[in-house]
Amino acid sequence: MSNPNPMFLEKPLSLAHARSLFAASDPKKLALLAPLLPHDYGVVKDEFIELNAAYWTVPVTAGGGPTAFVLDATVRGSSLVGDTGATDDDVIAIHAKNASLNSADNPWFFLQWKVDIVTSFSFEIGLSDPKTSEVLPAVTDIDTPAVGNGVTDVVCIHMDTDQTLTTAELIGDGTTGAVTASTGPSLATAAYTPTAAAWQTMLIGVRENLGYCSIWDGDAFIGHFSVGNGPDADILLAPYAMFRTRDTNADTVTLRKFEYGWEQNG
* Residue 122 to residue 158: CA distance in whole angstroms: 8
Instruction: Output b/e per residue, 218-239; b: 16+ Cβ within 10 A.
Output: eeeebeebbbebbbbeebebbb
Q: Is the peptide bond before 137 cis (omega within 30 degrees of 0)?
A: no
Q: Are 169 and 182 in contact (CB under 8 A)?
A: yes
Q: Which amino acid is at 175?
A: T
CA-only gyration radius of the chain, Å: 19
Whether the pLDDT of residue 35 is over 50: the answer is yes
- What percent of the chain clears pLDDT 70, i.e. is strictly above it? 94
* Residue 242 to residue 113: CA distance in whole angstroms: 11
Instruction: Report, as an integer, the average pLDDT of 220-248.
Output: 97
Phi first, then psi, for residue 28 (nearest 5°) are -65, -40
Choose the weakest-confidence range: 32-36, 174-178, 247-251. 32-36
Q: Are 192 and 157 in contact (CB under 8 A)?
A: no
The DSSP output letter for 60 is: B
Choose the weakest-confidence range: 35-39, 107-111, 140-144, 147-151. 35-39
Calculate the CA 225 to chain-centre distance.
14
144-186, pLDDT tens digit by residue? Answer: 999 999 999 999 999 999 999 999 999 999 999 999 999 989 9
Q: Which pLDDT does position 9 carry in this prediction?
A: 64
* Residue 90 to residue 243: CA distance in whole angstroms: 8
Three-state DSSP class for residue 36: helix
* Residue 218 to residue 227: CA distance in whole angstroms: 24
Three-state DSSP class for residue 124: strand
The DSSP output letter for 256 is: E
Three-state DSSP class for residue 41: strand
Instruction: Report, as an integer, the average pLDDT of 35-57.
Output: 90
Choose the weakest-confidence range: 32-36, 45-49, 177-181. 32-36
181-233, pLDDT tens digit by residue? Answer: 999 899 999 999 999 999 999 999 999 999 999 999 999 999 999 999 999 99
Quickly state the pLDDT bin for 126 (edges 50, 70, 90): very high
9-25, pLDDT tens digit by residue? Answer: 667 777 777 777 765 56
Q: How many CB atoms lie within 10 A of CB 30?
A: 16
- What percent of the chain clears pLDDT 90, i.e. is strictly above it? 79
Domains in the chain, CATH or no CATH each: 1-39 (no CATH), 42-263 (2.60.120.200)
Quickly state the pLDDT bin for 90 (edges 50, 70, 90): very high
Q: Which pLDDT does position 224 carry in this prediction?
A: 96
* Residue 180 to residue 192: CA distance in whole angstroms: 18
* Residue 62 to residue 82: CA distance in whole angstroms: 15
Instruction: Report, as an integer, the average pLDDT of 77-97.
Output: 95
Phi first, then psi, for residue 40 (nearest 5°) are -120, -10
Q: Among 167, 171, 168, which residue's Cα sits nearest to residue 145?
A: 171
* pTM > 0.75: yes or no: yes
